[in-house]
Structure formats: structure tokens, C-alpha cells
A and B are shown apart, each in its own frame.
Chain A
Amino acid sequence: MTGSNRIAGYGEVSRSKPVTFTFDGKTYQGFEGDTLASALLANGVHLVGRSFKYHRPRGFLSAGPEEPNALVGISRDKTRSQPNVRATIQELYDGLIAESQNRWPSLTFDVGAVNDRFSRLFPAGFYYKTFMWPRSAWDKLYEPFIRRAAGLGHSPTEADPDRYSNRYAHCDLLIVGGGLSGLTAASEAAKSGKSVILCDENPVLGTGLRSDLRTKFSGKSARVHLNKLIETVRSAENIQVLTRTTAFSYLAQNMVALAERVTEHQASPESDAPRERLWQVRAQKVILATGAIERHMVFDGNDKPGVMLANAAQTFLARYGVAVGAKVGVYTATDTAYAAAIALHQAGIQVPVIVDARSGTLSAIGEEARLLGIKVVNNAFIKRVNGRLRVQSMVVEHQGTRETFDVDAIITSAGWTPSLHLFSQSRGKVAWDQETRRFLPGDYAQECQSIGACNGTDTIAELISEAVSAARWGIGSRARAKPKIPEIEDEVPASGGMIGADKGAGPDNPVKAFVDFQNDVTAKDIRLAVKEGFHSIEHVKRYTTTGMATDQGKTSNLHGLAIAAEALGKDIPEVGLTTFRAPYTPVSFGTFVNHNKGELFDPTRKTSIHDWAVEQGAAFEPVSLWQRAWYFPQDGEDMHAAVARECKTTRKIAGIFDASTLGKIEVVGPDAAEFMNRLYTNSWTKLGVGRLKYGIMCREDGFIYDDGVVGRLGENRFHVTTTTGGAPRVLNHMEDYLQTEFPDLKVWLTSTSEQWAVIAVNGPKAREIIAPLVEDIDFSPDALPHMSVREGKICGVPTRLFRMSFTGEMGFEINVPSNYGRAVWDAIWDRGAPIGMVPYGTETMHVLRAEKGYIIVGQDTDGTVTPHDAGLSWAIAKSKPDFVGKRGLERPDLKADGRPQLVGLKSLDGKTVLEEGAQITNRMNPSGPVDIQGFVTSSYWSETLQSPVAMALVNGGRSKMGETLFVPMVNETHKVEVCDTVFLDKEGGRVHG
């Protein structure tokens, strides 16, 4: 089919460039420059969708972003589909595939339409009043039924293959809206040297005026004037013009978020071009030139396909050369619709009648219409619209008499609503203008000005001078010169109009006169809400759902407000508006996500030894942002087998472990020791240079915050280690106290977590393996005793060699500069492997330390555990006058008896490995809620001891040594005996080799 409704000589589409597309499987043709809407109308297609609740047939209301009805599904292929696309803004491209929504089996025959038959049963909020009996039917019957009815289009079901991107931008002036006022302001700012961004949601600039074929600028058409402006703006270096770019959110301190649609209009986008781009613009000044949105008239059947806004019809004609009908009726309460009617008439479209709701003498343009032979009836209204899938005729009532007109389209206008969305989002206060009966920008909250239609400036002359002075404000220019204003002829100011329902849909007319189309909210629904006591406009909105659809009430909110006000007998400003929220129009999730997906969702931190572990086929576990080697399965081993082997071998020979992720902080300065004294529970004054100590850090509340081994490298220099996950917060915590509580201390902190790779070698053969690689460090047991540190060289590079153990075996933690980590590791591996050393991962590390009763902060403690609870009282220096946490520890509950205490647990059957997190009771078979005594924090199979080992936090645990407690699981209850946390080598001889 080719567009039979094109009118020669009209429109801006390139008729030389035909484009084919399909709608509901049928193939149509349009032209480059069409929107899906204009192309469908050109082909005489009005019926494009079904409403949400009543499934009523719907067509196009508008030609722009405010569209509530014409929502379709668009897809390029099965991974690239998108629901609820407004046909009025979707640009046509070759091969576009569109589907109508919310209908079954077909758009013309939709079973759901029975809802419309029984619509009397479904007034606003009906579901709150029913579906309650019988109770059981709710889950089985009613709810599934309600949920099935949900939604319009279908969600995509496959991962989105497209790219998105982000740009932070900074400018002196952001102008939102590229209509006449935005363009005028921008051209004034051209060549100012100030950086300006101009954005408009449309593909072309000057839209508002482009559909105006009437107004003359110094004798020339409006477009001539527009094109001059556009030329100036486009050619100005200091102005960045962003079309297809919607400013959707106005945030604090003049940050405005824009969504640019980069490829949505292209038939075959470049593969790596982003589909959409997010702009986060920080502007010194903002000018809002967002225009005005036309309102429909509220009357019976105003939702039928073929009924649309007057300005939409004019736009389809002027910009796309499309006639929305052959015989078009007009229903208006404002003059701009006359202009539209005359434009249609001049294009050869029949306009049998203009119905004007207003009484009194005709305006000039009314007379003009008459002279052109168009019948004008005022003080009249449309009583009814006939036709189901398309308008067929309309019944007009005029002072009691009725007349029927055959029409195939009806255009309406109740007036224009200034677009206050962004102004209001900027936290500006809207003000009611009694004279023109509309809301306008009132007090501003940010560096921002509104101009043009969105500011209620109706005449072009005023608009231009307003735009010029705003631009001067925006660029801080002191220019005084009067802006030169072209001579404007035949202008039809867009003032006046009506809000609310007209006579035909008055309070006692039970007709279906729609206010909010998509959600099927009628005038009577709003009156019902008020009747039921929903007097706040916010309640009316939520009870009727008016303004809550995808168009967010751009055409309907004022009508709803006026009808509610009338029912309440209040003034409109008394009732007030609902809150404008972002986004101005819907924005893809992908645009917000932009680069942050897949690999870039979050940084993945890897150590310098990571690749080695990968080569060895290690399994990894995420720990904070890090990937850590978990265990090293050998041919077909599962985790259990691998860990058993790693444990056994490490205790028998040796094991090598990558501990690089440990946090490290260099504490330097004359007061370093004193600083450590205040931040850790331990005392550091007496720690000798070259010695190590296990330290515990509390928060002010006395609960364990972090722990780690600390080495003293010099009088004034400590090498502090922290848990992997705790590193950033510990450094922040230290800086906080240093800067704000103890500024008197002369200490500096530097993170060295990533300066050092850490290779832990543990086991009886550890010394023999690494000794030959080390220079300038005396390795003899008394020269390098347990818990000491030396600086020297290994494999020719600097090392900080820690003699310490987190396994209970003789152990060394070799710190080497990260970029040598892999090389040193390989060298150690080359020596260790032949004598049977194994690599082990975090799981084996956990088992080995558990056998020794060493805690893991975050596993055996959870932020409610004190050092005393954890059995670490020995690490608290009582003598110190103060340390962070000392006072907190003195609070009654932290000293009370029966606190959870860390103990060991033996499974009495000698074989059950308890589940971590399992709860502990003191009764065998608890039935019903029981008194929980604690829970298992760590639990493993100990290959070395050939028995399970477990740690638990048990109320008053240390006083229960030897007692039997119970661990109830789903099917059975395990018996456990409370024991010491140290399971292996109580006297601690092994660390000496």
C-alpha cells in the first residue's frame, strides 16, 4: 500500500525516498522523514492500539511525545525488541517492524473488549471492593486473573546486544528546547565565547513553529525565519546542538540529565555505535524553552480512532503532507484550532463544521473561517461520536437542537498547557495565573529561566524579546540593544481555552468522556473518587490512576484537576497539581547503565599471581572486588578432595598460597606507635623493631572491626596488614581519627596493599624451600624467630620477609613488589614442586586456621562480637588510658553474663561436618519455637585430625566446656560437645618447624 492520504505540496518528508515497513504483519510504504504515525495515517490507518483497562480501540491523539494511545512494539530482530514505543516519535526506517499491543487475538477483534461492555462494573478502584471472598479464591482465582490483565506491550526476553554510553558535560548555558524561543536564545548566545548546549527531543529544530503555515515573519513564512536561526546556531562553534535528545531530569545544582537516541531512527546502525547516550550536564545557567502541550476536549467518545488534537492534524499536514481525514470535524475552546481547521481547509480537506464550546461573539479568526465557508457553531458541544474502529459521524448539540455531521476524523483543542515538568523538577514553585487560568513558573530554586510557550508567553514578538534577554542573562552579557523583532502577521496567539469537562460530559452525564486515555480514566471516575472521600488531588490520582500512565498525564492532568475541583467546589489552585517527577518521557534502562555492564559492571581485582592459578585450573571465589583462588582441583577432584589433599600436604611438606589481597597500610612518623596504641586494642610501645604482632581494631562501640598482623620496620615505621575486604574502610577509619580526633599526632598513612604481592609458604619444609632464594637475611631460627620481619632481597628483588603463620605450621609471608610477584612465585614453585609442595587456596587456608582456632573477622565475628567474646581478651592492653572501643566495651550488655562466646564444637559421632550457620540449642528435639543458644560460624572436615572441626558462638560458651549441645537440622539433630577452639598442636610447637 502507498500513502493515499498524502497531499501534494505539503510536508517536509523526502518523497523521492520511499521506505517500507510492516504493522501487524502488513507491509506499508512511507517516506524518509516520516514518523511511524504519519506513515500509518498516510495509509489511512487510524486504529493502532487498545486501551489498558477496557481494551477500547485507539488511534493517534497527538503528533508528539505526549502520545498516550498510539503505543506499539518495535523490533529489529528477536534480541532487539521494545514495547510501548510512541508511534508519534518513532522515526520511520526501511524494514521497521511494528506490532500493536494489548489485544487478542487481533487488533480489530479483541476478546478483552468485553471489559468495555461491563465497564460499569469496573469503575475507578473497583478491585479494592471485591475479589475478597472466599479467602482462598484470592490466590487461586482472582489474583492470577488480575495479574494476567497486566501491562500493555511485552518485555524483551533476551539479553540486549546493543551498546550505550555516557558523557559528563559542563557548560555555561544549557538551553532545553529548540523551538522558536530556544533557537532565538541560542542564536543570541552564538559567538559569545561561552559554551552552550542546545538540546531538543525532536530530530529537527523549530518544531512548534514548523506546523504553523500561516504566521508571516516580515512577509516571509515562519520556516524561512526558523531556517535563518538554525543556520546561525548550527554554524556557531560555541554551541553544541543535540537533537533527538530529551532532557528528562532536572537535578540538584543545575545538573540536567539528557537522553540522546543515537541509532533508533537508523535502518542499519553501525555495529559499535551506542544505541543511546546519557548526558549528565552541569550547567552554570539553564534556559527552559520547553513549549506547551495541547489539551483535548473531554466529551463522550473522545477516545475513538480518528479523534485527535487540532495541532496534531496541522502537524501531520504541515510536516508530513498527510491528511488525517477527508471530512474533518472540529471541536474547540480556543482559537488555535481554527488556524488548524483553516490550514486543513486550504489543503483541500473538507471541514464541515467547527464546534466551539465558547459563547459570545466570534473572534477574528472565527470570522475568517466563516468567510472561507466553514460552518461555525458556538456555545455548542459534541454530544456523541459514532463509529467503533474509526469515527463515522458526530452529533452536535446546540441550544437544545441536535445535528449529525458525517466525518472521518475530529480534531479538538481545549487550549495549551505550558510544559512545567523540568521547571518543577528543578524545585521551582508553580504559580496559578488567574487571568489566563493556567499554571506558570513562579519562584525559581536554581539558576534557571523559562521562556516562550512554557512561560505562557503567547505572542511571538514578546517571545522573541524574552528569549533574547534570557540569553543575555545566560551568557552574562551586558548588551542593552533592543532585539530586532520581525514584523509578525496573521499570528494566532495560543491563549484561552477551557479546563475540565464540557457540557456534554457534565456532572450528571454518565457518559464515557475520557480524561486519561491510556488508563481509561473518565470524568465520572474522577467524580466518583471525590464522592468516596478522595479529596486530595494525590488521592484522586492514585485512586483513579489518572496521570500515571506512560504519558504521565501530559494531556490529562489539568482536566482531571479541574473536574475534581468542580466536584469539590474548590478553586483549581486550592486543589493543586500532583508532583512532576523524572523522567519527562520514558528512558531505557540501558541508557542509565551505559558502560557499566558485563566486565565493566564492577572492577574485578586480580593479583599478580592470578594468571598462574588460572593456568593451574584453580577454582575462584569472589571476595569483595577480588577474585581469589579457592582451591586447586587435580584431575577430577571435587572441592572436598582437593582441600583434603592441600591441607594434608601443607602440614606434611609445604603449601604455597597467594595472600596478595591482604590490605596493607604503611604507618610512618614520630608518633606512629602512639597512633597504633590509640587505634588498636593492643599495646605497641614495647614492640621491638623487626618484630610482628597480631592486632585487633575495634570501633568506638567495642565490637571487632578488623584484625591483622603488624610489623615494626623501624622506630617510626609500621607495616600494618588488614583483612582483604576491610582494607579501604580501615584506612578511612584511621585517617578519620588521625585528621579529626588526633591531629596532634605526627603520623602519615599510605596504602601499600597493591605495592606488595604476598606469597605465603607454610609447612615443615618452608624454610628449606625459600632460604636459597633469599639474600642478606639470616635465616637461622634464632636470627629469624617466629613473629619477626626482615628486609632484604629475594630473587634479586627487595622483600619484606614476615616469619609468621596463619596455619600453625612454620610459615613465611614473602612481600615482594607486585610486578615481581609472579616471577618470585615461579622461582619458589620451581624449588617447592619437586619436593611435593602444593598450591592451596582460600578454602584450605580456612581449614588450616580453623584447626588452630584462629578467627576470620566477618565469619567468626559479625559486628556484634567483642574481643572478649572472641576469646581475645589477651590482646587488650588493660593498662592503656584509652583506645578506640575501650569505653564501648564497658557498657552493661557488653559485660553481661551469657554473651555469645567463641568456642570449639566436636561432633559426637566423630564424622558429621556441621553446616555453617546451623543453630545450636540445648534441647534434643525442639518442637515449635525454641531458645536458640548460638550458631556455627566455621565448620570443616579436618583431614589431618580425621575428624570434623567447628567453631561456634554460644551463649556463655566458655562456661560450657565439655557440655553436650544440639544442632537441629531438617531431618536429624546432631549432638555436639563444647570444646576449646584450638584443635591441633595446642602447645604450638609446629610453628618452629
Chain B
Amino acid sequence: MAKAASKTNTKPAVATFAGPLDGKRMARDSVSLELAAPCSRTALRADNKSLAAVSKVVGVALPKKANQSASTESRHALWLGPDEWLILDFASSDNPIVPEPDDSKYSAVDVTHRNVAINVEGASAEAVLAAGCPRDLRVAAFPVGSCCRTVFGKAEIILWRRDETTFHVECWRSYANYVWGFLADAANDAG
């Protein structure tokens, strides 16, 4: 039966953060999977005219072409569409990093909790991703720093190549277990 409450305090402790892949890790000979470091995320939308101004607000020069990403120390802007960027900040684990617009230059929506990221690292990282992603991920076609929204198996992901053999794979929260499971199954073969 529904267990009754242990205590009935009025001022509860601040809620603790719990993600779907907490503590997950897997390693094969030539590839490893692990939950990426925590970061804050903002879905940023803005049109061309205001890029310069918005770049100032964000603190990163927003890239203008497909697959491009731009970075400062801890903050990264990933091009997702002509008027869309995903802003990641690894310095802050969880709070809105782009202020809501006072004017109507752009739209900033905090999606820190919407997504979960997995690091796929190792010589076979590309092959493991190739089990479910139909894009051409060879370095020539998808150089270091490239990013895009794409598919992995039956899930949508955001893919970001951090170096030749390291990919940052981001998906919606409720798809995380699926994406992890698929990556793990692929690692059994390609890893």
C-alpha cells in the first residue's frame, strides 16, 4: 500500500536534482559512454537582424552557418537552425543563463532539464554512432566542432563533435534511456 509519510515537516529541504542517467557509465575496448558533465541550457531563437546584439547578451558570437558552433571558456553556442541555437554553459549546473528579453529581439527558453547529454568517446565513437545515425560523420564531412540536430535510431538527438573521437550526444530526457541502450548495444558490436 502507499507508504505513509515518515515525517511531516513544513519547510522541506531544497529539492535535489535527479536525472535519468545519473551515475551511468560503460566502457568497451575502444569506446566509452558516460553521462556528460552537468550544464545549463537555453533554447535561443533570434532573427538575423539582431544577431550582433543578441551575441552580446549571450556572450558568444552566434555562428551563422549549419553545423557551426562557437565557444568561450565554458559557454558554447550550437547552430541548430537559421534562427535557432542551443546555448550550453558548463560553468553553471542549473540556472537560466540567458536573460528573458526585455524587448522583442529574441526568445530565450531555459531547457536545462529538457535534455540529457551523453559523452561517447574513443576510437570507435564514430562507428558506434553510425549504428543509428544516417549522417555522414567522417571527419572530412563532420569536422571537430561540428554540431547538428539529427536522428539516432528512433530518437532525435543533437550531435556535437568535441574532438576527433569524442561526441556530445544530447536528447530529450525521456529518450535518454533509449539512446543510452542503443549506444550500448552498438558499442557491443563496434566498440
Contacts and interface: CB of A to CB of B under 8 A. Distances in A.
Direct interface between A and B, CB < 8 A: yes
Interface in B94-146: 94, 100, 104, 106-107, 109-115, 127, 130-136, 138, 141
B113 A167 contact: no
Given A168-B134, A748-B107, A750-B111, A606 B174 contact: yes
A823 B154 contact: no
Contacts of A832: 5
A859 interface: no
Given A754-B113, A818-B113, A834 B5 contact: yes
Nearest to A830: B5
A834 B181 CA distance: 39
A834 B8 contact: yes
A831 B5 contact: yes
A661 B109 CA distance: 19
A489 to B, nearest CB: 44
B182 A600 contact: yes
A829 B186 contact: no
A493 B129 CA distance: 47
Contacts of B14: 795-797
A11 interface: no
Interface string A813-824: 000111110111
Given A795-B14, A797-B15, A607 B109 contact: no
B178 interface: yes
Contacts of A165: 131, 185-186, 188-190
Nearest to B2: A616
Contacts of A195: 138
Contacts of A634: 1-2
Contacts of A820: 15-18, 113
A756 B153 CA distance: 25
Interface in A792-846: 794-797, 816-820, 822-824, 827, 829-834, 838-839
B183 to A, nearest CB: 10
B175 interface: yes
Contacts of B12: 773, 795, 827, 830
Given A168-B133, A595-B186, A819 B113 contact: yes
Nearest to B42: A750
Nearest to A666: B109
B15 A816 contact: yes
Nearest to B106: A748
Contacts of A604: 177-178
B6 interface: yes
A250 B93 CA distance: 48
A387 interface: no
Contacts of B56: none
Contacts of B115: 754
Nearest to A823: B15
A727 to B, nearest CB: 11
- Name which of A167, A794, A838 has the most chain B CB atoms within 10 A of its CB: A167
Nearest to B173: A754
Contacts of B90: none
B65 interface: no
A596 B153 contact: yes
Given A634-B1, A818-B114, A167 B190 contact: yes
Contact of A823 (B16, B133, B174): B16
Report, as a range, how many residues of chain A touch the other chain.
Answer: 35 or more
A751 B149 CA distance: 15
Contacts of B113: 754-756, 817-820
A10 B91 CA distance: 71
Interface in A475-527: none
A746 interface: yes
A716 interface: yes
A282 B109 contact: no
Contact of A167 (B9, B131, B154): B131
Interface in A398-423: none
A606 B21 CA distance: 12
A165 B188 CA distance: 9
A754 B172 contact: yes
A732 B80 CA distance: 16
Nearest to A282: B136
Interface SS, B side: loop
B6 A605 contact: no
- Name which of B112, B132, B173 has the most chain A CB atoms within 10 A of its CB: B173
Contacts of A817: 94, 112-113
A548 B114 CA distance: 52
Contact of A750 (B107, B172, B185): B107
A166 B131 CA distance: 5
B48 interface: no
A772 interface: yes
A272 interface: yes
Given A165-B189, A819-B18, A600 B4 contact: no
Contacts of B178: 599-600, 603-604
Contacts of B11: 772
Interface string A599-626: 1101111111000000010000000011
Contacts of A831: 5, 8
A756 B173 CA distance: 11
Interface string B145-160: 0000000011100000
B29 to A, nearest CB: 12
A824 B16 CA distance: 9
Contacts of B74: none
Contacts of A838: 2
A725 to B, nearest CB: 14
B155 A603 contact: yes
Contacts of B106: 748
A277 B174 contact: no
Contacts of A166: 131-132
A690 interface: no
Contacts of A716: 104
Contacts of A753: 114, 172
Interface in B59-113: 83, 94, 100, 104, 106-107, 109-113
B14 to A, nearest CB: 3
Interface string A279-290: 010100000000
A824 B1 contact: no
Given A748-B107, A827-B15, A600 B181 contact: yes
Given A752-B111, A834-B8, A272 B188 contact: yes
B49 to A, nearest CB: 11
A632 interface: yes
A232 B30 CA distance: 27
B94 to A, nearest CB: 8
Given A169-B130, A632-B2, A795-B15, A595 B107 contact: no
A750 B109 contact: yes
A816 B112 CA distance: 12
Contacts of B141: 170
B130 A595 contact: no
Interface of A: 163, 165-170, 195, 272-274, 277, 280, 282, 595-596, 599-600, 602-608, 616, 625-626, 632, 634-635, 666, 668-670, 716-717, 746, 748, 750-756, 772-773, 794-797, 816-820, 822-824, 827, 829-834, 838-839
16 contacts: A168-B131, A168-B134, A170-B138, A596-B154, A599-B178, A600-B178, A602-B154, A605-B175, A616-B2, A668-B45, A748-B83, A752-B114, A795-B14, A824-B15, A829-B5, A830-B12
Given A750-B43, A818-B173, 8 more contacts: A168-B131, A595-B182, A606-B177, A608-B18, A635-B1, A748-B107, A755-B112, A796-B15
Interface of B: 1-20, 43, 45, 83, 94, 100, 104, 106-107, 109-115, 127, 130-136, 138, 141, 153-155, 172-175, 177-178, 181-182, 185-186, 188-190
Closest 10 CB pairs of A and B: A796-B14, A823-B15, A605-B174, A603-B178, A748-B107, A748-B45, A830-B5, A668-B107, A165-B189, A817-B113
